[in-house]
A and B are shown apart, each in its own frame.
Chain A
Amino acid sequence: MTWNRETVHEELLKVFRQHKQTEIEVSETSHIVADLGIDSLGVMEVLADLEDTFKLTIPDEALREINTIGDVATAVLTRLEGDGRLQG
């Protein structure tokens, strides 16, 4: 399955909306822990969901560069692009 920036973005917002622990509205700049209240265990669950959805692996090292939803988008887009599964 191929994706484009818009569908990736929508999918990410959808998944984070399901997992957030606070009332805050989810956006690209939302900080996962600070704004959405998702702790380390919750983040790992989100990652598992995303890996299943996008059929890719986000390695542990990549986690160290993830703070916001935008960072997750970058991690996902980079990998989709590397696999030739990103359009546009």
Chain B
Amino acid sequence: MSAPPPRTVAQAIEDAAASGSSTGYRFLEESPDVAPFHSYVDVERMSARFGGAMQAMGLRKGDRIALILPDNADFVFAFLGAVRAGIIPVPIYPPTGLGKLSGYLENTLHIVAKSGARVLLTSSEIKKILGTIQAQAPGLEKVVAVEGVRTASDKLRPEKIDLDDVCFLQFTSGSTARPKGVTLTHRNLAANVHAIMPVGLSIQDGVDHGVSWLPLYHDMGLIGFVIAPIYHRNQITFLPPLLFLKRPARWLESISKYKGSISFGPNFAYALAVKRIKESEMEGLDLSSWRIAGCGAEPIRADNLRAFAEKFSRIGFDERAFVCCYGMAESTLAVSFSKIWTGVRADVVDGETLWAKGHAEPAAEGSPRASGIVECGAAFEEHEIKTFAPDDTESARPLPEREVGELRIRGPSVMQGYWNDPEVTKRSFAGGFLRTGDLGYIAEGKVYICGRSKEVVIVNGRNYYPQDIEWEASQVEGVRKGNVIAFGTMKGPSDRERVVIAFETGEKDEATKKRLEADVRKAVQQTVGLTVDDVVPLAPGVLPKTSSGKLQRARTRELYESGELLGRTSAREVDKLDLVKEIAKSQIGYFRHRLFGKSDE
């Protein structure tokens, strides 16, 4: 399908309004009786009001405005208003209240400072929580409460928006201290929206109806369900993200009630629906309108999707609706989708060969060494996905099919770089390709993801950086500073990644060690806000280090998973042999346990 001439997001809003389409956004709230609807004509008017108010605050084209808006309608109108005024919105997630507020404030401050936002728009309630943030961010001139903007009467002064103007900044992956702002232009968005909607999902303009509980400060919710639908005038029904987490049944109820045809979620959302939705809540629901059930943003576990299909087929869910997605903010949103209406498909390969040699050798289903790897489809037209050896810094020699390497992408959806961060940007590209940091292979043109070379821990769709967890654990008295390793493991009885912290201590007394364990657990849970599954105190010198003294996270995970970590007395004596073994193995070996959900075992 040849692409139509690309349009800016601003143009798409005006076009949708001018079409007189009766479709638009519906914003569901906690009370089932409240469901305000705004047609695209209305969206045009409301966004103009917000954009005009921002201009009246003194913001000009190219200035940044940070948005911390927990209400979906506020967020959508403010975001689109800024875009139409040429002001660059910087979405930031609202505080949830769990975990220490200081951590949230620090993170927010870093993003505000890095983006150089002049204004921060938020609710009056959150404004109180933000306290001294303005004094600490030198460029931030004011923190404005959104309540006054809702009823503002300023007119939007027309602004010429070009395809190569920056549309918005998506702050993403990077530890707290080093947030990275993915910089997306209107041209990036137009290209990715085209790839997603007509090409990837065969969307029918004005007909397909999306239902989304996804947070709007994240690419899947924002681009997939706010921006892309404007281009194709699709009706969207939004649920508040926390409402979904509290009452997962509301997600399926909404699809049933509004005859939704498209809805996406990370793997955990499907697992949560299976776990939490009661039989009684399924009474009277009909999911037969659901034609595309996208799954992405975290590793896809075929078992979880199968369980979802099993449970909900009774009320009309068709497992062929599953679309397995590979994507990242650096590529706007989507990199590839499995073909629609084919469901979850896996490549059955010999697991041993895959890990030992980095080669995906087809294997017979059911053979003892067989591992299933989920297929995520082919590159979109005008885009490329290739694999390279991690040390191929020029992307000079693409690996042959079925050879595992780093996935790298190129095409009009790929960002130009990170905001105000030329150094990190430079490191992220190799010979014109974006280095995704993901490991995988290509077979018959389709992408298969095997693991991440970045060491993030993903729990419930959120990325946590081991460095942040380790730093918090290091603050506990009795823990040897700098001798803490945190990692995620798929091993063990859980349908999510388990979080493990191993630390060294000079304490020998068992009772004291027990107390230290509890202290570390408490410190991390409180500050980082995630459940720690296991804490392992070790004697000094046990954690594996490189010859230059750097802690080895992947190696520690391996030792933990094989049960060897606890048996080690000192790393020093065994490390020579380990070193030889490690050199013999490809880098990929580190990931073998993470990939194919070890829950299968």
- Listed in ascending order, the chain A residues whose CB lies under 8 Å from chain B are 21-22, 24, 31-35, 37-45, 47-48, 51, 57, 59-61, 63-67
Q: Nearest chain-B residue to A45 (Cβ)?
A: B276
Alpha-carbon separation in the docked complex, A24 to B521 (Å): 12
Which residues from chain A contact B96 at a C-beta distance below 8 Å?
A: 40, 63-64
Q: With A32-B98, A65-B97, A67-B97 known to touch, is A37 a contact of B247 (CB < 8 Å)?
A: no
Task: Please name all residues of chain A whose beta carbon is closer than 8 Å to the beta carbon of B99 when the two chains form the complex.
Answer: 33
Interchain Cβ contacts within 8 Å, total number: 75
> Which 8 A-B residue pairings sit nearest by Cβ, starting from the closest?
A34-B526, A64-B97, A44-B245, A39-B531, A44-B246, A63-B97, A34-B522, A37-B531
The complex places the Cα of A22 from the Cα of B534 at a distance, in Å, of: 10
Report A-chain residues with C-beta under 8 Å of the C-beta of B276.
45, 48
A39, B129: Cβ atoms closer than 8 Å: no
Tell me the bound Cα distance from A20 to B70 in angstroms.
28
Nearest-neighbor residue (CB-CB) of A58 within chain B: B246
- B460→A57 contact, CB < 8 A: no
The reply to whether B525 and A37 contact each other, CB–CB distance below 8 Å, is yes
Does the CB pair B460–A44 fall under 8 Å?
no
Do B97 and A41 touch (CB < 8 A)?
no
| B272 with A43: CB separation less than 8 A | no
**Contact call B129/A38, Cβ cutoff below 8 A:** no
Residue of B nearest to A64 (CB): B97
A64 and B531 within 8 A (CB): no
Whole-angstrom distance between the Cβ of A80 and the nearest chain B Cβ: 18
Hey, what's the 0/1 contact readout for B191-205 against A, CB within 8 Å counting as 1?
000000000000000
Considering residues B97, B242, B243, which has the most beta carbons from chain A within 10 angstroms of its beta carbon? B97
Cross-chain contact B526 with A22 (CB below 8 angstroms): no
CB-defined contacts of B129 to chain A, threshold 8 Å: 64
A66→B96 CA distance, assembly (Å): 9
A40-B245, A60-B243, A64-B129 known; 6 new pairs, CB 8 Å cut-off, are: A33-B99, A33-B526, A41-B272, A42-B531, A44-B245, A45-B276
* Residue of B with least CB distance to A39: B531
Q: Are B522 and A35 in contact, CB atoms less than 8 angstroms apart? A: yes
Contact pick for B246, options A47, A64, A66, A67, CB 8 Å: A47
Which residues of chain A have C-beta atoms less than 8 A from B97's C-beta?
63-67
14 residue pairs A–B, Cβ–Cβ below 8 Å: A33-B525, A33-B531, A34-B522, A37-B521, A37-B525, A39-B459, A40-B529, A40-B530, A41-B245, A41-B460, A45-B276, A60-B70, A61-B70, A63-B96
Q: Which of A31, A41, A42 contacts B526 (CB 8 A)?
A: A31
Taken together as a complex, chains A and B put the C-alpha atoms of A65 and B521 apart, in Å, by 22
Most buried by A among B70, B98, B526, B532: B98
Complex: chain A residue closest to B242, CB-CB = A60
Residues of the B chain whose Cβ atoms lie less than 8 Å from the Cβ of A34: 522-523, 525-526
Binding site for A on B (CB under 8 A): 30-31, 70, 95-99, 125, 129, 240, 242-243, 245-247, 268, 272, 276, 459-460, 518, 521-523, 525-526, 529-532
Q: Is the CB of B98 within 8 A of A63?
A: yes
Q: If A38-B531, A61-B125, A64-B95 touch, does A22 touch B70 (CB 8 Å cutoff)?
A: no
The docked-state distance in angstroms from the alpha carbon of A38 to that of B99 is: 11
Interchain CB contact under 8 A, B529 and A33 = yes
Which residue of the partner chain B has the closest CB to A63?
Answer: B97
| Nearest chain A residue, comparing its CB with the CB of B522 | A34
Could you say which residues of chain A place their CB within 8 Å of the CB of B30? 57, 59-60
Q: Nearest Cβ distance between residue A10 and chain B, in whole angstroms?
A: 23
Instruction: Look across to chain B and name the residue whose beta carbon is closest to the beta carbon of A32.
Output: B98
Query: A43 vs B98: C-alpha distance in the bound complex, in angstroms?
Result: 9
Min CB–CB distance A21 → chain B (angstroms) = 5
A38 to B245, CA, bound (A): 14
Q: How far is the CB of B541 from chain A (nearest CB, A)?
A: 29
Docked Cα-Cα span, A57 to B529, in Å, equals 23
Taking CB atoms, residues of chain B closer than 8 Å to A21 are 531
Distance (whole angstroms) from the CB of B490 to the closest CB of chain A: 17
Q: How far is it, in angstroms, between the C-alpha of A38 and the C-alpha of B460 when the chains are bound?
A: 13
A8 to B246, CA, bound (A): 21
The listed residue with most B CB atoms (<10 A of its CB), out of A24, A33, A35, A37, is A33
Cα distance, A33 to B530, chains bound together (Å): 7
Instruction: Please measure, in the bound complex, the distance between the C-alpha atom of A63 and the C-alpha atom of B245, giving whole angstroms.
Output: 13
Whether the pair A60, B240 counts as a contact (CB closer than 8 A) is yes
Which residues of the partner chain A approach B532 to less than 8 Å between Cβ atoms? 37
Determine the chain A residues whose CB is within 8 A of the CB of B518 once the complex forms: 24
A83 to chain B minimum Cβ distance, whole angstroms, is 15
**Chain A residues with Cβ under 8 A from B70's Cβ?**
60-61
Q: Which residues of B contact A35 (CB under 8 A)?
A: 522, 525
What's the Cα separation between A37 and B529 when bound, in Å?
Answer: 9
Q: Chain B CB within 10 Å — which of A22, A41, A42, A43 has the most? A: A41
Residues of A near B95 (CB, < 8 A) are 64
**Looking across the interface, which residue of chain A has its beta carbon closest to that of B532?**
A37
Please determine whether A33 and B247 come into contact, CB atoms closer than 8 angstroms: no
**For residue A45, which residues in chain B have a CB less than 8 angstroms away from its CB?**
246, 276
Task: Please tell me which one of the listed residues B246, B521, B525, B526 contacts residue A48 in the complex, with CB atoms under 8 A apart.
Answer: B246
CB proximity of B497 to chain A, nearest CB, Å: 12
A60, B525: Cα distance in complex, Å:
21
**A contact residues around B529 at 8 Å (CB):** 33, 39-40
A72, B30: Cα distance in complex, Å: 19
